């Protein structure tokens, strides 16, 4: 198994859902659920990188370590780069960025991303899963990725890409065309600590600012991102109140299945 560490970037001032890491989910702060998933991933170490002492306290209570970082960071990757520099990690250490708003992420996805990076020549590795509904494809909160023949990212977007010219001419169709292969990006990244140090010195790209997607900085500066297609379906990320309610319902349903002897996930 590829050795890796997990760092969870978590800031208090999220624009769409302020205080998101501390929002209650099934009786616990959201960040506690993310820590639980990370600790079950096989990581050698799990840290939360944050700018808020309350988030740090929740992370420690959940069994993770916490590192206080600058409030000035523009992205989670910048925050993780500070951790790598401060802790003096060697250039080849594999670091997995597990987003702080993914409380239902399957734990094995972190190991999948780390293994993909280890066997690829890319600067970054990430994951994707097939999109199956027009609603998800046309949802700007669901990030899409388009890849080349070698499985490397060409572009990430909140828009429905690739655009099926005929099928989408009138807007979202009742079903996706059978000839397409649309991919939902899963917000997990694996990098080597040496790349994180390079990333910290790269200026933001115009595309990153327009789409509000930090991974576009990597592509803008000519670095490769390897994309693995996973069979493990992620639960919803938390961007809105509706997402929070959906995650709450999924956790309740999972608990009921577990109580009845089924798979609680």
Specify whether the CB–CB gap between 202 and 215 falls below 8 A.
no
Residue range 210-230, pLDDT digits in tens:
999 999 999 999 999 999 999
Nearest to 233 by CA among 132, 154, 155: 132
Q: What is the pLDDT of residue 260?
A: 34
User: Does residue 171 have a pLDDT over 70?
Assistant: yes
CA distances from 155 to 15, 113, 166, 218 (A): 24, 18, 21, 10
User: Does residue 88 have a pLDDT over 70?
Assistant: yes
Residue range 140-169, pLDDT digits in tens:
989 999 999 999 999 999 999 999 999 999
Specify whether the CB–CB gap between 205 and 222 falls below 8 A.
no
Residue range 36-78, pLDDT digits in tens:
999 999 999 999 999 999 999 999 999 999 999 999 998 899 9
Residue range 228-258, pLDDT digits in tens:
999 887 777 888 888 888 899 988 876 544 3
Domains of the chain: 5-233 (3.90.550.10)
Specify whether the CB–CB gap between 51 and 21 falls below 8 A.
no
pTM of the predicted model as reported, rounded to 2 decimal places: 0.90
């Amino acid at each position: 198994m590829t050795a890796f560490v997990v760092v969870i970037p978590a800031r208090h001032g999220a624009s769409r859902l302020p205080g998101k890491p501390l929002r209650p989910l099934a009786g616990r702060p959201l960040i506690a659920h993310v820590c639980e998933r990370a600790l079950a991933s096989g990581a050698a170490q799990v840290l939360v990188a944050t700018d808020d002492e309350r988030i740090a306290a929740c992370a420690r209570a959940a069994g993770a370590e916490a590192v206080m970082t600058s409030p000035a960071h523009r992205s989670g990757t910048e925050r993780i780069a500070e951790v790598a520099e401060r802790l003096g990690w060697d250039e080849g250490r594999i670091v997995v960025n597990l987003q702080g708003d993914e409380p239902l992420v399957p734990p094995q996805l972190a190991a999948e991303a780390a293994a993909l990076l280890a066997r690829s020549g890319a600067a970054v590795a990430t994951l994707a899963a097939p999109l199956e509904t027009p609603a998800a494809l046309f949802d700007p909160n669901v990030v899409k990725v388009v890849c080349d023949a070698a499985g490397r990212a060409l572009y990430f977007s909140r828009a429905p890409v690739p655009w099926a010219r005929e099928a989408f001419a009138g807007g979202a169709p009742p079903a996706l065309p059978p000839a397409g292969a649309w991919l939902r990006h899963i917000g997990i990244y694996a990098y080597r600590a040496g790349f994180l140090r390079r990333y910290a010195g790269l200026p933001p790209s115009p595309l990153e600012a327009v789409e509000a997607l930090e991974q576009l900085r990597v592509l803008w500066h000519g670095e490769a991102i390897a994309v693995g297609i996973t069979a493990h379906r992620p639960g919803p990320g938390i961007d809105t109140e509706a997402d929070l309610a959906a995650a709450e319902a999924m956790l309740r349903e999972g608990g009921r299945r577990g109580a009845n002897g089924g798979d609680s996930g």
